[in-house]
Amino acid sequence: MKNLRFLIIPVILFVSACGWFKQPPEIGKVLSEHFKNKIYKDFDTIAYDRVFVKAMDSLSETFINPKTIKAFYASNVNEPKLITKFYIDGQLDSLVEYLQNSTVHGFNPKIFKTDEIKSLLQELSANKFTKVDDSYPIIARLELLSANAYLNYHNFLRYGVVNPRNIFSRYYIKVKRPDSLGMMNMLSSVSLTDSLNSVQPKSTQYMALQKAYLRARAENEKRILLLNMERFRWKMPETGTNYVQVNIPDFRLTWFDRQDTVITMKVCVGGRREAGYEEKIKAFAKSGNLDDKPKNHETPLLFSKINSIQANPVWNIPVSIAQSEIYWMARKDPYYLSNSNINVYYKDKLIGEPDTINWNRYSRDKLPFKFKQGSGGGNALGKFKFIFDNSSSIYLHDTNNKNGFNLTNRAISHGCVRIEKPLEFAEKLVGDTYTYDKLRAEVDLPPVDSTNNKWYKKRMAAKADTARAFQLKPAWFAPKKDVPLLITYFTAWSQNNRIQYRPDVYDMDEKLWVAMKKFR
């Protein structure tokens, strides 16, 4: 049965290729009729195939997707599909026009070999071949360069020039990228012009940046606009029309409902990595000494959904902060831990009196303890924590230090995002007065609806009862529905018909500019 299967496959391929090996093949008929030139009736597919294979070998090294292009032509027995379908009706000329006009997207037409494609089209159109064999190198090269340029142009506009996950260490948003099946389907398009037209970015933001880019004269401004056009080309996850966005360079959270703003507020984000980070991290990798480890608290870029709210949160202090800060503070002040409401655990068991720990016995790189800061006014997370699934232990939260929101550069946190108006944000998330009043009661605020005063009075009475110890504990609340959250990075965007510019706080513009160099 296996032997029979292997015999069937070549037969299928031969049958599907029969049209190509007819005399003349489709390309010969098309060109013969178009030019009224009989030489194309002698089009020899076997002779052409040898020329095509050599052209593929010489050109494929410069292709971005050589495997896909080779697979497409292998499945079509090297037939010049694009020329056969799109030369006569002028669609290959339209491709050249799109490529020449790619400057409106910040591209250099040279990266598509636009001039050579145009020259090959002109040479074919001149119809000066005295024998059909002379046309083979022109047809083969025109076919392959057109296929490559078409794929690249289409992919650049639909998905962006670079994959941000390849150049940024803390970029965790799963952007969609081109796949071989999609590209094979593109090369089999019924209409090149329809495909090229449909891929033109049509988002309001992109078009506003593009318009500003075409008007800008200063090179630095053009550079910023181009970089953010690229960011808007990246195929982001579907957020829907109702979502929350944190834009790091803007130090701001905005809740969007379609084009409307539900709520907006200042945020503090992670501090930028230490100067000379790349070299210092190499030194740390060699030494393993924590004193050599450079600081990097940059907030990661990610997409998730806010799925819960914690009132009166407990802060599970990360190991990195325990090593770099808590350890030193405890050594300096034996009462620091108890005064800061920080509990210490050894093998998951609570240590009753952490002030008695002899810290000189322990090195900070091998601390056997875990640290948790209890609920209350002194908690670094404030009164609210907004939780979403992610691999970086990042969340949005309140803060007991409000002064940070008065700063111009608010890249000051350990990586999480501090939000300016946590109570208002919580109100929007829970979405109903009943749940909101329950949440308010947990943080000792009176209810909005006076009919719910009973909860509030009961809680306040329990706190005031000196006969019974009242222990403040975290309380969990669910949003009315999970809300998409996008933590992103734009240094330019359109707002109220004006382009807004922000500083490149994490130097991400510079990295992106270097990655895009060969496409400019």
308 forms beta bridges with 387
Per-residue confidence (pLDDT) for residue 464, from 0 to 100: 78
Per-residue confidence (pLDDT) for residue 470, from 0 to 100: 64
pLDDT band at 455 (very low <50, low <70, confident <90, very high): confident
Per-residue confidence (pLDDT) for residue 5, from 0 to 100: 45
Which of 105, 154, 297, 416 is labelled catalytic? 416
Where along the chain do its domains lie? 26-199, 239-314+374-448+470-489
What's the whole-number mean pLDDT along residues 505-511? 96
Angstrom distance (rounded) from CA 140 to CA 202: 34
Residue 16 pLDDT > 80:
no
Per-residue confidence (pLDDT) for residue 259, from 0 to 100: 81
Angstrom distance (rounded) from CA 220 to CA 273: 24
Sign of torsion, CA 251 253 259 260? negative
Per-residue confidence (pLDDT) for residue 265, from 0 to 100: 98
Place of tokens 């009315």: 480
Angstrom distance (rounded) from CA 341 to CA 375: 8
Residue 111 pLDDT > 90:
yes
**Structure-token pair, residue 203:** 């988002």
What's the whole-number mean pLDDT along residues 297-308? 98
Angstrom distance (rounded) from CA 77 to CA 45: 10
Q: What angle do CA 371, 372, 373 make, to 5 degrees?
A: 130
Angstrom distance (rounded) from CA 318 to CA 325: 11
pLDDT band at 351 (very low <50, low <70, confident <90, very high): very high
Q: Bigger pLDDT: 451 or 81?
A: 81
What's the whole-number mean pLDDT along residues 412-428? 97
Residue 199 pLDDT > 70:
yes
Amino acid at 83: I
| 296 contact partners, CB below 8 Å, separation of at least 6 | 273, 274, 277
CATH of domain 239-314+374-448+470-489: 2.40.440.10
pLDDT band at 15 (very low <50, low <70, confident <90, very high): very low
3-state secondary structure of 412: strand
Q: What angle do CA 345, 350, 352 make, to 5 degrees?
A: 120
Per-residue confidence (pLDDT) for residue 459, from 0 to 100: 78
Number of H helices, E strands in the chain: 21, 16
Amino acid at 204: T
Per-residue confidence (pLDDT) for residue 364, from 0 to 100: 87
**Which alpha helices (DSSP H) does 302-402 contain, by range?**
319-321, 327-332, 336-339
Residue 7 pLDDT > 50:
no
| 198 contact partners, CB below 8 Å, separation of at least 6 | none
pLDDT band at 469 (very low <50, low <70, confident <90, very high): low
What's the whole-number mean pLDDT along residues 234-250? 96
Place of tokens 């294979």: 53
Taking residue 453's Cβ as centre, other Cβ atoms within 10 Å add up to 13
Q: Looking at residue 264, what DSSP letter applies?
A: E
Question: If we measure between CA atoms, which residue out of 338, 340, 339, 372 comes closest to residue 352?
Answer: 338
Q: Bigger pLDDT: 156 or 4?
A: 156
Per-residue confidence (pLDDT) for residue 472, from 0 to 100: 84
Per-residue confidence (pLDDT) for residue 466, from 0 to 100: 63
Whether 268 is catalytic: no
Q: Bigger pLDDT: 292 or 58?
A: 58
State in Å, rounded, how far the first CA of the chain is from the last one.
Answer: 55
**Which alpha helices (DSSP H) does 310-452 contain, by range?**
319-321, 327-332, 336-339, 422-430, 433-442
Place of tokens 């819960």: 308
Q: Worst-scoring range by mean pLDDT, 159-163, 204-208, 305-309, 443-447? A: 443-447
pLDDT band at 3 (very low <50, low <70, confident <90, very high): low
Give phi and psi for 312, each to the nearest 5.
50, 60
**Parallel, antiparallel, or unpaired: how do β-strands 498-501 and 492-495 relate?**
antiparallel
Task: Please give, one letter per residue, the 3-state secondary structure of 445-492.
Answer: CCCCCHHHHHHHHHHHHHHHCCCCCCCCCCEEECCCCCEEEEEECCCE
Residue 4 pLDDT > 90:
no
What's the whole-number mean pLDDT along residues 158-169? 96
3-state secondary structure of 503: coil
Per-residue confidence (pLDDT) for residue 8, from 0 to 100: 42
Which of 105, 154, 297, 397 is labelled catalytic? 397
Angstrom distance (rounded) from CA 104 to CA 91: 20
Question: If we measure between CA atoms, which residue out of 356, 353, 350, 388 comes closest to residue 370?
Answer: 350
pLDDT band at 23 (very low <50, low <70, confident <90, very high): confident
Residue 382 pLDDT > 90:
yes
List, for residues 122-135, the tens digit of each pLDDT value: 999 999 999 999 99
Per-residue confidence (pLDDT) for residue 423, from 0 to 100: 97
Question: If we measure between CA atoms, which residue out of 158, 49, 152, 45 comes closest to residue 108?
Answer: 152
Whether this prediction's pTM lies above 0.85 is answered by yes
Share of the chain above pLDDT 90, in %: 84
Is the distance from CB of 151 to CB of 187 less than 8 angstroms?
A: yes
For all residues of the chain together, what is the average pLDDT?
Answer: 93
pLDDT band at 190 (very low <50, low <70, confident <90, very high): very high
Is the distance from CB of 454 to CB of 415 less than 8 angstroms?
A: no
Q: Worst-scoring range by mean pLDDT, 147-161, 323-337, 442-456, 472-486? A: 442-456
pLDDT band at 13 (very low <50, low <70, confident <90, very high): very low
Is the distance from CB of 294 to CB of 280 less than 8 angstroms?
A: yes
Residue 501 pLDDT > 90:
yes
Residue 19 pLDDT > 90:
no
Q: What angle do CA 268, 270, 276 make, to 5 degrees?
A: 140
Residue 2 pLDDT > 90:
no
Residue 6 pLDDT > 60:
no
What's the whole-number mean pLDDT along residues 465-470? 64
